[in-house]
Amino acid sequence: MKIIESLEPHHQPQLHQLYLQQWWSNTRTLEEVSAVLAGSSLTLGVIDAENNLIGFTRVLTDGIFKAIMFDVIVSEDYRGHKIGSQLVEYVKHHPRLARVKHLELYCLPELQSYYQQFGFGTDVGGMQLMRLTMR
């Protein structure tokens, strides 16, 4: 397994398939996947020995104050192999994020303990997530 910072064209449909496996992303189209990749500040994939995408995450950042990690996803066939952990650690130590004050993510309550092992916490200074659904 190897972490890559640029997905090849044949990885895009593979990423789409990873998204289709998850309740939170199973309505994404291949066209939307291409747009997500183009609009992200940092994209990381994990490939197997045959160059197939088996894990992924992406980051949006201003490079100074905030970075938010999205879509930590691992193929169902590779769960339990610490691929998600490798991706989170890679993001935490990425040179492009070295000056960022806050690395953030959001997750379901049952995943909080998983992310706490990497130093994430729920104390966000009283902040509350708000959302406006645009489409």
Q: How many angstroms separate the CA atoms of 64 and 74, rounded?
A: 28
pTM above 0.85, yes or no: yes
- Tokens 């953030």 label which residue? 104
Q: What is the mean pLDDT of each run of 10 residues along the chain (135 residues)?
A: 95 97 94 96 97 98 97 94 96 97 93 93 86 87
Domain 2-116 indexed as CATH 2.130.10.10: no
Contact between 78 and 55 (Cβ < 8 Å): yes
Per-residue pLDDT at 10: 96
